[in-house]
Amino acid sequence: QLVESGGGLVKTGESLRLSCEASGFAFNKFTMIWVRQAPGKGLEWVSSISSGSTYMYYADSLRGRFTVSRDNAKSVMFLEMHSLRAEDTAIYFCARRLLSDYGVITRGFDPWGQGTLVTVSS
Amino acid sequence: QSALTQPASVSGSPGQSITISCTGTSSDVGAHNYVSWYQQHTGKAPKVVIYDVTYRPSGVSNRFSGSRSGNTASLTISGLQAEDEADYYCCSYTTSSTYVFGSGTKVTVL
């Protein structure tokens, strides 16, 4: 199970930190991702972090404003968001790479959290 | 990182089959066997229905199937049912070790 938190209403230029708490699986063995969905729009991949935090990747559109991290001891992933803009307004989902029936960690994503809403307003 | 191209909408009658296309480039869809498809009902989190182009997770109906030809992946839903009405998104791993989603397709059951 994945549960996001930390969303809310912030002003343009402010910062926010989202959390994704995991339970029920070996968190330290899975790459995790953040995906966002602006109101009425499609899904947008935001960031990925490998199981041991060795590799972190970001969408080009974020231009260094977001930082992903994780604490495997606490089974939590974070997304630090800075210099927030109106276009960052979205529901932010976290998700885990899918474990197949054959025990292979695939490049599909499941499960997903329920999402946390970030609203950036001037 | 432009979004993969999907038709905005596809519709079909109950019992029919529909196919949703997902067109990318040789740097994403055409580069790996790592295309997945997600079903999203209004107000809900996405749910994977196909992963690694053709594989179906346990618990997903065998009415869902996936394929790929070159830079275009496809999701076929056979025996269309009312519960299939939702938004569908493809997603591909890229040669830059990032991911890119499709623009999304609204499926309507007539």
pLDDT one-digit tens code per residue, B31-90: 989 999 999 999 999 999 999 999 999 999 999 999 999 999 999 999 999 999 999 999
Q: Do A48 and B45 touch (CB under 8 A)?
A: no
Taking the CA of residue B3 and the nearest CA in chain A, the distance in Å comes to 8
Residue of B nearest to A44 (CA): B101
pLDDT recorded at residue B44? 96
Distances (CA, A) of A34 to A21, A85, A115, A116, B31: 13, 18, 10, 11, 23
What is the distance, to the nearest Å, from the Cα of residue B33 to the centroid of all Cα atoms in its chain?
14
Residues of A in contact with B48 (CB under 8 A): 98, 108-110
Q: Which residue's structure tokens are 């791993």?
A: B93
Q: How many residues does chain A have?
A: 122
Give the single-character DSSP code of B99.
E
pLDDT in tens, chain A (122 residues): 999 999 999 999 999 999 999 999 999 999 999 999 999 999 999 999 999 999 999 999 897 899 999 999 999 999 999 999 999 999 999 999 998 888 888 999 999 999 999 999 98
Residues of B in contact with A61 (CB under 8 A): 1
Taking the CA of residue B25 and the nearest CA in chain A, the distance in Å comes to 17
Neighbours of A56 (CB within 10 A): 13
Q: Which two tokens stand for residue B11?
A: 């519709």
Separation of alpha carbons B86 and B107, rounded Å: 6
- Using the Cβ of A57 and the Cβ atoms of chain B, whether some distance falls under 8 Å is answered with yes
pLDDT recorded at residue A102? 87
- What confidence tier does B1 reach under pLDDT thresholds 50, 70, 90? confident
Q: Which two tokens stand for residue A70?
A: 């994780």
Distances (CA, A) of B105 to A15, A68, A79: 33, 29, 28
Separation of alpha carbons A21 and A113, rounded Å: 9
Q: What is the CA radius of gyration of chain B?
A: 13
pLDDT recorded at residue B41? 97
